[in-house]
Each structure stands twice: as C-alpha cells, then as structure tokens.
Amino acid sequence: MKLQTFAAALLLLGTSAYAQNVAIVNAKAWTLATDTPTDNATIVINDGKIASVSVATPAPPGIRVIDAGGKIVTPGLMHPATRLGLIEVSSAAETVDHAAKAGAPGAGFDVQYAINPNSVLIDLARADGVTRSLSYPSSSNTPPFAGSASLLHLFDGGDVVEQARVAVFVTISNRSANSTVGSRAAQWQLLRAALDTAKAAKPTLNRTADSTALEAVVQGKAPLAISTNRESDLRQAIRLASDYGIRVVIVGGAEAWRVADELAAAKIAVIVEPMSNLPSSFDELGSRLDNPALLRKAGVTVAMSLDGVQSYNAGLSIREGAGLAVANGLPYVDGLRSIITAPAEIWGVADRFGTLASSKDADVVIWDGDPLEPSSAPTTVLVQGREVSLTTRQTELRDRYMPAIKALRP
C-alpha cells in the first residue's frame, strides 16, 4: 500500500511539474480561429491547456510571464505525413523502420512499434516548431498497402506516440505497380477486393491485423490515405470514396488541381508536395507550383508535406513549402493553416489542437520572424504548456566547433 501511495504521489508530482501555468503577453497571435492576427494578445495557459486569449489584458498574478515583445505567436506546427521516429539515417539500415521487407504484413503493418522517441530528428523538428506529426509507413509486402500510421505528440521525453493506427496508407503509382503487381489497374482491383472482404467480415471470425485495420476504414473509424499523383488515379480515389462510403485523404496529388472541384465536393483533403514543379515521373506531368492555391480556392482542405525531407528538417521543410505556396497564390492565413490547422482536421485531432483557443492543448510557438520564412526560427516552444529545450545535435556541434558564433548569439 505504501509503495502504491508513493507511486501515485510521484505520478501527481510529475504531472504537476509538467503542466505549467504561463501567460504570454504582448504577442502578435495568429490564433487561426480567425483570418487575421490579434495584436497585443495575452495568452493564458493553465495545466497544459489554453485558458484564454485576450487583448491587452494583464497576466494573472502568481504565474510565469513570457513577454513576446510583439513577436508572432502561433499554435505548434503539425507535420501531416512524415517518417519522424522511423528513419534516422537513411543509409544506415539499423535506423530505418518505415517499411516491411519480410513476412506478409499489409494494411496491418503498424509503425507504432518502431517509433524511436530519442531520435535526434525529433529534437530538430521540435526546435523548429513542430509539436505534433503523423508518421506513416512507405511499403509492405502486400501491395498496394503500406500499413497503418501513428500520431506523435513531440514531448521531450517519454513516449511520443499519442495515437496508433490513425490511418491506413496505400500507394498507387506507376513505380509501385511496376515493382509489385505490374499494373495500377491491378492495384485498384486489389484495394477494392480487400475493402469488399473487410465489409463482409464477421466481427469475431479469423481476425488479423490486416482485417482489423481495414475494418476500421470501412466502418469510418479511420481514413484511407492514398499516396498518388496522376489525375486518373485521383478520379479513381474519388470514386472509391463514393462507392464504399469511406473517408479518403490524398497524399501527393501533383495533378490534384485538375480535379479540384471534384475533390472539394467529395470532401477529400489533399496533403500536397508544394515544391512539385518539374515532374519526376509520368504520373506528375501536370505538376505546378500553384497547385495548393488552386485546391484551396476550390474549397479543398490543404496540408503540406515534402516527400524528400520527411524525417530530417521536418519543420523547416513544411514552413518553406507553405511559404512557397503563399508566394504562388495561397492566402497567407491558409499557408499557416496548411501546417497547423489542416493537419489537425485531417487526422482527427482538431478538437484539441490546431488553434489558440480556450481548452485546446497549449502547444505554442513564439517566432523571431515570419514562420513561413525559412530564415526565421522559434525563440520559445511550449508543448502542453511546458517550455521545451531548443538544443539539438546540430546546435551542440555548432557551439562546440564554432564558439565564436555562440558568443554572438543572444
């Protein structure tokens, strides 16, 4: 009994130490609950949640005060499609866990079991303002399925997996077809056959990880994320969503602007590659830099992910990508939403994250400049109300080997 009481006391102590009460004053707050910033804002945080956002209000007595000095303050960023925690060094096989190369896992290939909370790339992402992300698999031995993704909350210690099996990912392209079944037509047929089986399955009969994952999709408990780019495949994805009554998310969508109205009507969100301009395959011949702007104008929910830098430079890459989209016609507020609010909506956590509003998780970032400018950086990052370290392996190497630069830093 004494041991249980002591353990409970330690748990309460840890919770109390973790959830700090803070007031951020003199902030230019992009709450993203509106289309414009709130100047001279006061953001009050209690027990890891946002208690209030007001204008020119004094901080409550007895709590820590952070003076933003007029700097921009936003919710934490959310990377909507990354390999954080799954890839450390792509050329070092022992640090690569995003794909299944043996056995027969398919839709049920669950990456939660491989997430490394001590990855130095998570530190790097957090130091660049990313407080949540979705880590997803890239392939399996059961095409076209890649597996099931996990939602991460990037604390600086302990388990970072907030929710497992958030979505089932599939990949449909000319490259994936050629390396597996030989035709994208066969990929679509395999996908439909698997969904048919999942719809017809009896709840307790011969359940496997794959069948459980697909049952969640056909029952509306998890979306089907389809990584694809060609217009014809996008139209197949729209038809699939209608035929099976499932929620579909597009990842990639280089030619999504061609079917923007149809995607909007089907309520299919797109996680775009905002730097896709010169096609890298015949699937992407219609690539254009104003793809995000055209999709958003049609009413599509748009988020950003850069395919080439999904684990390293995760935060910087999506900020730069969103900035490029803004430079090519996307409204500025939608640029911010594409790396904060839209990912939260797409992956089902908008009830607790994505805006600076009362009762939301206090994932908050203070910036030294424009968040969509790559040369800007966070000065303060709070994860559930607690300030986290901005020290990374990169900053430690810089300070060790370039001490003169360290001396010049504020």
Supply the pLDDT for residue 181.
66
Question: Which one is the CATH code of 2-75+364-408: 2.30.40.10, 3.30.360.10, 3.40.605.10, 3.40.50.800?
Answer: 2.30.40.10
β-sheet bridge partners, residue 365: 74, 381
| Interior angle at CA 105, CA 100 and CA 111, nearest 5 | 60
Query: What's residue 63's pLDDT?
Result: 95
The larger pLDDT score, comparing residue 166 to residue 184, is at: 166
> How far is CA 302 from its chain centroid?
12
Confidence band for 149, pLDDT divided at 50, 70 and 90: very high
How many other C-beta atoms lie within 10 A of the C-beta of residue 41?
Answer: 22
Q: In terms of Cα–Cα distance, which of 349, 369, 362, 371 is closest to 223?
A: 349
User: Alpha-carbon torsion 209, 245, 306, 79, what sign?
Assistant: negative
Give the position of tokens 């302990």.
158
Over residues 212-220, the mean pLDDT reads 95
Give the confidence band of 5 by pLDDT, cuts at 50, 70, 90: very low
Tell me, what's the pLDDT at 235?
99
Q: What is the mean pLDDT of residues 44-64?
A: 97
Identify the residue whose tokens are 């929620």.
247
Average pLDDT, integer, range 169-193: 82
Q: What does the block give as tokens for 97? A: 């866990």
Kindly tell me if the per-residue pLDDT of 174 is higher than 50.
yes
Distances (CA, A) of 142 to 102, 177, 281, 334, 349: 10, 12, 23, 37, 29
Compute the average pLDDT of residues 382-409.
85
Amino acid identity, residue 81?
A
pLDDT band for 2, please (50, 70, 90 cuts).
very low
pLDDT value at residue 98: 67
**Fold category of 77-346 in CATH:** TIM Barrel (3.20.20)
Average model confidence (pLDDT) across the chain:
89
How far apart CA 175 and CA 281 sit, in angstroms, is 9
Domain boundary assignment for the chain = 2-75+364-408, 77-346
Mean pLDDT for 258-285 is 94
Q: Identify the pLDDT of residue 209.
A: 86
Are 7 and 1 within 8 A, CB to CB? Answer: no
pLDDT at 156: 87
Of the candidate ranges 115-124, 259-268, 401-410, the one whose mean pLDDT is the lowest: 401-410
CA 410/CA 408 separation, integer angstroms = 7
Taking residues 145-149, what's their average pLDDT?
Answer: 93
For the residues 228-244, what does the mean pLDDT come to? 98
Tell me if residue 81 falls in helix, strand or coil: strand
Q: CB within 8 A of 147, min separation 6: which ones? A: 100, 105, 106, 107, 108, 109, 110, 111, 136, 137, 140, 168, 169
Confidence band (pLDDT; 50, 70, 90) for 310? low
Q: Please spell the DSSP secondary structure of 292-305, one letter per residue.
A: HHHHHHHT--EEE-
| pLDDT for 103 | 63
Q: Which two tokens stand for residue 259?
A: 């079917």
Residue 269, CA distances (Å) to 61, 96, 276, 303 in order: 44, 28, 18, 8
Neighbouring residues of 137: CB distance < 8 A, sequence distance ≥ 6: 86, 98, 99, 100, 109, 111, 146, 147, 148, 149, 169
Closest CA to 251 of 149, 106, 113: 149
- Comparing 253-262, 310-319, 354-363, the range with the smallest average pLDDT is 310-319
Higher pLDDT residue, 275 or 5? Answer: 275
DSSP 85: T
Tallying the residues shown for the chain, one arrives at 410
Residue 353, pLDDT above cutoff 80: yes
Q: Which two tokens stand for residue 111?
A: 């990456």
**405 or 125, which is more confident?**
125
pLDDT at 4: 45
